[in-house]
Amino acid sequence: MEYVDSLTGFRLDGRRPNDIRQIRAEIGVVAKADGSALFEMGNTKVIAAVYRPTEVQNKGQQINNQALVRCEYSMANFSTRDLQEDQRGTEISLVICQTMEACILVHLMPCSQIDIFVQVLQADGETRSACINAATLTLADACFPMRDIVTSCSAGYLSSTPLLHLNYVEDSARGPDVTVGILAKMDKVTLLQMGSKLPIDIFENVMQLAIEGCKAIAQYIREVLLENTKLLESRKGL
Amino acid sequence: MISRLSSRRRLAEPAQPSLLLLPSDSTSPPDFLPCLAVLLPSLSISSVLPAPAQPFLLPSLSPSFLALSLRSSLLTAQPFLFLSLSPSAHSSRAPSYSRHSSQQLPYSVVAPHINKEAAMTTMLRELRLSLNQTQRVRLQSALQSLQEMSSLASTITVVADTIPVNHEDSILKGHGTSDLNGEVVATLCGVVERINKLVYVRAQRARYKPEVGDIIVGRVIEIAPKRWRLEINFSQDAVLMLSSMNLPDGIQRRRTAVDELNMRSIFEENDVICAEVRGFQHDGSLHLQARSQKYGKLERGMLLTVPAYLVKRRKQHLHHLQQYGIDLILGCNGFIWVGEHVNSHGENDSAANRENREDAVNKTGELQVIQEVQEPERTTPLEVRQHICRVANSVRLLSALGFNLTVEFIIDTVEASISSNTDIKDMLAAEFYVQTAEREVQRRVSLSRKH
């Protein structure tokens, strides 16, 4: 099938090949949690929450000079019709955990455990990226010291065109799918995953496109955090 | 399963190009939502937070609704429709293709704008309110003017922002900062504070950071050998040693094994205690002391939990509100105690009971634990109880609004509620909420005019 219409250049959902999806973020959706965020990329909707560092439950895993980062990723039963995504829960938890561990300053909280909970409410492709973005917002909201803002997005290559932000339909086409997670300001890559195969020169183009998408998301996240900080400070008063 | 069947049925139907509102057991192709949806203010995921006006949606916002617009040409290409929206999704999601109108330079992506109204609704973390249209407008204008008044725009920083620093001076990098390629970069979201050569970032939603001399309120969770363990809204429990507590008979002496066995008669599990931070233990947990008469067990009142960053350290934390007959203790850890006034802990008011105690002591010739001798059967008068409820509600309200908690502010709010004849239960309702925000705006305006 044609993923990019040859006449008009539109994709299946009406975007151009390098258009990002509609992004929306909200902070503080879970009142009881120390930090929480709701992140939407297109139709993919994800909620993340984090609680303040607690004592490590499994003493054998305790690291004496830094915090232990744990992430639990789960998809709500109503999030998608197809159920096979559910089985990748452990793998995606590990991916998110490693990405966040690269950006939290864990040595400032020794002998403790940081739990990040991410729940996918609506899955339309790129759940992994949406979870990482939501987790970044959550950690910034809970005032965990972080090295940088981590953002993530995916790009693919269908109908001989690099496409930014694959939705579920394009993802199911089983074409090449590159997921990139970067530290936005430091310009460092913390996550790079790919499915299927790509020639190396096309891969560079696709990865570059994904990095551009990540930077756009980082800019948005930064604005959201700035707005939120301003609001909180102005209300606290003198 | 029902949705799957209905989707197959719907494929055979011709596509309708108009805007439809359908129940959620119909499916929609992904991202085929009208541009109009972009104008709809976003709703938060929680089902009872206030929703901005929705001119295009049904007013009855039932959990199962969905806005669609079908494009006939695109529909025929989709044999695999899916994506039934979750029942908890109230809002229609704006389409991703609305971005296609942005510029088409290769590999340049445009960041989306943030929705300010969505940012406003995040303020209502704690309190669940349903505001009508006028109240919402008033609240937003009040919050807007608060924001304009604050002059912090230049010093607010977000994670990974560079902090402007004069590189020629030697700068001491404090909490919340780190070094990146010679630049000072923030690691927290907050306000940049500069004191002499120290530059640090004060986090806005910080957890409680204990200091020696803080007055805190805690709840006993465990009695351990020679100590009580208290829960104090911190990552670890605090410890109150038996030797840091006055004995009931008031004599300064060594604690014996009998005293240790009688610990339960002083404090039991789930008692609320006011104490002072004496120091830190080696693992970071707190040591408390309650030697003075003003500390000790708290009775006949209410314990409230607010975020710890709303309570600033002041000279005085134990307040006696004489006009209401209430004790108000603003614990630095975010636990607030509102209760009936007692003259000092360990004694009681009525003279008769004091006589009873002396008689008992004289008769037996031994010192006895005071609690065994007397039990005042008085109850708190209704008026005092009402005042306690008013003060507690004003604390809840102010913490929900995000304002700093000070005694003057709490008393102001209580007096405003009395003068406007608001019922105690209405203090947490929408109208008084909005009025409090407006009053705070006026107060800050008048403060800034004086300076």
How do residues B322-337 score in pLDDT, each as one tens digit? 888 899 999 999 999 9
Hey, what are B129's tokens? 């309110």
> How many Å lie between the alpha carbon of B90 and the closest alpha carbon of chain A?
12
pLDDT for residue B432: 84
Angle of CA points A64, A67, A71, to nearest 5°? 140
Higher pLDDT, B448 or B111: B448
Hey, what are B199's tokens? 């530059």
Considering only residues 337 to 366 of chain B, which have any Cβ-Cβ distance to chain A shorter than 8 Å? Answer: none
> How many Å lie between the alpha carbon of A197 and the closest alpha carbon of chain B?
22
Residue B96: which of A42, A220, A234 has the nearest Cβ?
A42
Spans of chain A below 70 pLDDT: 82-88, 237-238
| Model confidence at B141: pLDDT above 80 | yes
Mean pLDDT computed over B342-364: 47
pLDDT digits (tens, 9 = 90+) for B46-65: 333 333 433 433 333 333 33
pLDDT for residue B36: 36
Interface ipTM > 0.90 = no
Mean pLDDT computed over B96-115: 45
Using CA atoms, how far apart are residues B400 and B378, in angstroms rounded to an integer? 34
> How many Å lie between the alpha carbon of A142 and the closest alpha carbon of chain B?
7
pLDDT for residue B75: 37
pLDDT for residue B85: 32
pLDDT digits (tens, 9 = 90+) for B175-231: 888 888 878 888 888 888 888 888 888 887 878 888 899 899 999 998 999 899 998
Task: Say if the Cβ atoms of A78 and B447 lie within 8 Å.
Answer: no
| Model confidence at B126: pLDDT above 70 | no
Label residue B8 by pLDDT band (50, 70, 90): very low
Label residue B106 by pLDDT band (50, 70, 90): very low
* Three-state SS at A108: helix
Task: Say if the Cβ atoms of B156 and A233 lie within 8 Å.
Answer: yes
Higher pLDDT, B353 or B314: B314
pLDDT digits (tens, 9 = 90+) for A130-140: 999 999 999 99
pLDDT for residue B206: 79
Contacts of B310 in chain A (CB under 8 A): 236
What is the pTM (predicted TM-score) of this model? Answer: 0.70
With 0-12 CB in 10 A as exposed, 13-18 as middle and 19+ as buried, what is B389? middle
* Rounded alpha-carbon distances, angstroms, from residue B40 to A56, B36, B63, B216: 44, 7, 17, 46
Confirm or reject contact between B402 and chain A (CB < 8 A).
yes
Residue A226: which of B78, B89, B156 has the nearest Cβ?
B156
Task: Say if the Cβ atoms of B44 and A38 lie within 8 Å.
Answer: yes
Hey, what are B37's tokens? 């949806």
Least confident stretch, A180-194, B220-234, B373-387, B403-417? B373-387
| Model confidence at B133: pLDDT above 60 | yes
Confirm or reject contact between B188 and chain A (CB < 8 A).
yes
Q: What residue in A sits closest to B42 (Cα-Cα)?
A: A24
Q: What is the Rg, in whole angstroms, of the alpha carbon atoms belonging to chain B?
A: 30
Contacts of A35 in chain B (CB under 8 A): 205
Distance of CA B247 to the CA centre of its chain: 36
Up-side HSE of residue B298: CA atoms within 13 Å toward CB?
30
Confirm or reject contact between B118 and chain A (CB < 8 A).
yes
Element (H, E) at A35: strand A35-41
Q: Where does residue A48 fall: left (phi above 0), alpha (psi -120 to 50 degrees), or beta otherwise?
A: beta
pLDDT for residue A53: 80
Residue B110: which of A54, A216, A234 has the nearest Cβ?
A216
Label residue B159 by pLDDT band (50, 70, 90): confident
Residue B100: which of A15, A27, A55 has the nearest Cβ?
A15
Contacts of A25 in chain B (CB under 8 A): 114
SS3 content of chain A, % helix, strand, coil (to 5): 35, 30, 35
Distance of CA B211 to the CA centre of its chain: 21
Task: Say if the Cβ atoms of A233 and B191 lie within 8 Å.
Answer: yes
DSSP state of A88: G
pLDDT for residue B293: 84
Pick the closest to residue A170 from A156, A185, A184 (CA basis): A156
Confirm or reject contact between B310 and chain A (CB < 8 A).
yes
State the best of A83, A111, A233, A238 to mutate against chain B, taking most chain B CBs within 10 Å.
Answer: A233
Least confident stretch, B75-89, B98-112, B118-132, B290-304? B75-89
Are A120 and A135 within 8 A, CB to CB? no
**One-letter identity of residue B344:** S
Contacts of B203 in chain A (CB under 8 A): 143
Up-side HSE of residue A129: CA atoms within 13 Å toward CB?
36
Least confident stretch, B121-125, B373-377, B412-416? B121-125
Higher pLDDT, B25 or B318: B318
Using CA atoms, how far apart are residues A234 and A228, in angstroms rounded to an integer? 10
Q: What residue in B sits closest to A165 (Cα-Cα)?
A: B96
Per-residue burial over A194-223, b = 16 or more CB atoms within 10 Å of its CB, e = otherwise: beeebeeeebebbbebbbbbbbbbbbbbbb
Number of helices (H), then strands (E), belonging to chain B: the values are 12, 18
pLDDT for residue A88: 67
Using CA atoms, how far apart are residues A133 and B246, in angstroms rounded to an integer? 53
Task: Say if the Cβ atoms of A121 and B98 lie within 8 Å.
Answer: no
β-pair type (A150-158, A188-195): unpaired
Contacts of B396 in chain A (CB under 8 A): none
- What is the overall mean pLDDT for chain B? 69
Label residue B276 by pLDDT band (50, 70, 90): very high
Confirm or reject contact between B203 and chain A (CB < 8 A).
yes
Residue B89: which of A53, A82, A122 has the nearest Cβ?
A122
Distance of CA B224 to the CA centre of its chain: 31
pLDDT for residue B307: 87
pLDDT for residue A131: 93
pLDDT for residue B451: 67
Using CA atoms, how far apart are residues B224 and B260, in angstroms rounded to an integer? 10
Task: Say if the Cβ atoms of A24 and B94 lie within 8 Å.
Answer: yes
Provide, rounded to the nearest whole percent, the portion of chain B with pLDDT above 90.
Answer: 10
- The strand pairing partners of A146, in sequence order, are A104
Hey, what are B273's tokens? 């205690």
pLDDT for residue A86: 54
Contacts of A220 in chain B (CB under 8 A): 111-112, 114
Enumerate residues 6+ apart whose C-beta is below 8 A from B344. Answer: B293, B294
pLDDT for residue A83: 63
* Rounded alpha-carbon distances, angstroms, from residue A191 to A98, A140, A194: 8, 19, 10
Mean pLDDT computed over B287-313: 89
Task: Say if the Cβ atoms of B82 and A186 lie within 8 Å.
Answer: no
| Model confidence at B279: pLDDT above 80 | yes
pLDDT for residue B287: 92
- SS3 of A132-159: the string is HHHHHHHHHHCCCCECCCEEEEEEEEEC
Contacts of A23 in chain B (CB under 8 A): 112
Using CA atoms, how far apart are residues B449 and B292, in angstroms rounded to an integer? 42
- Tokens 């929306």 belong to A24
Residue A43: which of B83, B100, B122 has the nearest Cβ?
B83
> How many Å lie between the alpha carbon of B355 and the closest alpha carbon of chain A?
49
Using CA atoms, how far apart are residues B196 and B171, in angstroms rounded to an integer? 9
Considering only residues 18 to 37 of chain B, which have any Cβ-Cβ distance to chain A shorter than 8 Å? Answer: 30-32
pLDDT digits (tens, 9 = 90+) for B9-49: 443 344 433 333 333 333 434 333 343 333 333 333 333 33
- The strand pairing partners of B230, in sequence order, are B220, B238
* Three-state SS at B424: coil
Angle of CA points B246, B252, B256, to nearest 5°? 85
Are B338 and B392 within 8 A, CB to CB? yes
Task: Say if the Cβ atoms of A186 and B122 lie within 8 Å.
Answer: no
Confirm or reject contact between B1 and chain A (CB < 8 A).
no
* Rounded alpha-carbon distances, angstroms, from residue B306 to A22, A238, B272, B403: 36, 18, 16, 11
